[in-house]
Amino acid sequence: MMQDIADSEAFTADLLRGHTDTIVLGVLRRHDSYGFEIYKSIREATGGAYEIKEATLYASYRRLVRDGLAEAYWGDESQGGRRKYYRITDAGRAAFRSNVANWVATRGIIDDLLGTAPTALKGSRA
């Protein structure tokens, strides 16, 4: 039983890992944030059920900036150490919307294939 739980968590993490950039863009849609604040937002949004490794997040930040989907800037030092903040760009907003639409379409296809679509569940006796 314990192995099943561990396998399930690994599978879920693998599924989510491919969406790290979109998850980060989702956080940045709300407000500019610095690295560790984004990490905490993701952890809190899932009630601690999912955490993205900081190294994975920092690779995502670099990729998003390189691709023009986010911008990085240094915050002031009035609240302790100097922090690098990230803000979403218009291109990042467009990419977020596109990625979410792709996710919804993919989820629908998988639900149909697995028989877990809301309409399929209404008539089932599962």
pLDDT above 70 for 120: no
Domain total for the chain?
1
- pLDDT tens digits, one per residue of 98-114: 999 999 999 999 999 99
DSSP H/E element including 126 = none
**pLDDT for the residue 75:** 87
* Domain assignment present for 98: no
Residue 7 lies in a domain: yes
User: 69 in a domain, yes or no?
Assistant: yes
Q: Give the pair of three-digit tokens for residue 22.
A: 């979109």
Rounded Cα distance, 81 and 24, in Å: 22
Would the pTM count as exceeding 0.95? no
Q: Could you tell me the CATH number of the domain that includes residue 24?
A: 1.10.10.10
For residue range 13-53, list pLDDT tens digits in order: 777 778 999 999 999 999 999 999 999 999 999 898 888 88
Q: Which residue has the tokens 């998003």?
A: 64
